[in-house]
Structure 1
Amino acid sequence: MQRLETLYSVSSNIHSIATALRRTVCFIVCLILFAALFPIPAKAAEQSEKEAIRVGWYECAYQITRANGERSGYAYEYEQTVSTYTGWNYEYVTGDWTELMDMLQRGDIDIMANVSYTDERAETILFSDRPMGEEKYYLYVDITNADISLTNLSNLNGKRIAMIENSVQTEQFCEWEKEHNITTEHVLVDTVEETKELFDNDEIDGIISTENSIWIERGLSPVVITGSSDIYFGISKARPDLKEALDAAMRSMEYDKPFYNDELYKQYIATETVVFLTEKEKEWLKEHGEIRLGFLKDDTGFSTYDRENGELLGVINDYVQDASDCFGGDKIKFRLIGFDLEENQIEALQEGKIDMIFHAGQNPYMAEQNGISLSDTVLSTPLAVLTKQSHFDENAENRVAISKEDLQYKWYISYNYPDWKIVECNSAEDAESKVRNGEADCFPIRIGVLMQYVDDKNIHGVFLTRAMNSSFAVSKGNITLLSILNKTLKTMETSKLSSAESAYEDSLRKVTAKEFIKDNFLIFSLVILTVFIVVLVIILGLLRKARIAEEKAKNAQQQAEQANSAKSTFLYNMSHDIRTPMNALLGYNHLMKKQLTDPKLLDYQQKIERAGKLLLDIINNVLDLARIESGKMYLNESYAQVDQLFEEVVGVFEPQTKEKKINLKSEVCVQHSHVMCDITKIKQIFVNLISNAVKYTPSGGSIEIKLQEIPCEREGFVAFRTEIRDNGIGMSKDFLPTLFDSFSRERNTTTSKVAGTGLGMVIVKDFVDLMDGTIEVQSELAKGTTFIVHLMHRKADEQYYRQTDEGVESDETENILQGKHILMAEDNELNAEIASTILEEMGLQIDWVNDGVQCVSKVKQMPAGTYDLILMDIQMPNMDGYKATEIIRKMSDKEKAEIPIIAMTANAFEEDRRKAIVIGMNEHITKPIDAEKMKKIITEVLK
Structure 2
Amino acid sequence: MRVMLLSVLFVLLLGEQTFAGPRSVKVGFFANSGYHEISEKGEKGGYGYDLLRLMSRYADLNYEFVGYDKTWNDMLRMLENGEIDLVSPASKTKELEETFAFSLPVGLAPDYIIVRKSDTTLLNEVNYAIRQMNVLDPNWMNRLYRKYNGDDVFDLLLLSERERRFLQGFWGQDRMLKVTARNDKFPFAYMDGDVPRGILLDLFAEIARHNGLKYEFVTTYNESQPLIVLDARYGMAGGDESWIFTPPYFRDQLLDSNDSLLVGMHIAVPRKYPRELASILSKGVMMLSPKLVRSKIVKYVGFRMPNYSSELLHKQSHIATVFGSIFIVIGIILAASLVWLAFRRKLKNREEELDYKLREANAFAAEAKEAKSKFLLNMSHDIRTPMNAIIGYSERAERHLDSTADVQDALKKIRISGGYLLQLIEEVLDMAKIESGQVVQKKRMVNLPSCMTEFCETYQPMMKVKNISFIWDTSSVKNRFVVADVSNLRQVLYNIISNAQKFTPYGGRVVFTIEELPCQVDGYAVFDFEVSDNGLGMSKEFLEHIYDEFAREQSSTQSGVQGTGLGMSIVKRLVDMMGAEIDIQSEIGLGTTVHVRTQLKIATEEDVALESGESCAEADPALLKGKRVLLVEDNEFNREVALDFLQDAEMVVDIAENGLVAVTKVREKGVDYYDCILMDVQMPVMDGYEATRAIRKTYPHAHIPIIALSANAFEEDRQKSLAAGMDEHLAKPFVVAKVLSTMCSLMQRKVNVS
Q: One fold, TM greater than 0.5?
A: no
Tell me which of the two structures has the higher relative contact order, counting C-alpha pairs closer than 8 angstroms and 6 or more residues apart: 1
More strand by share: 1
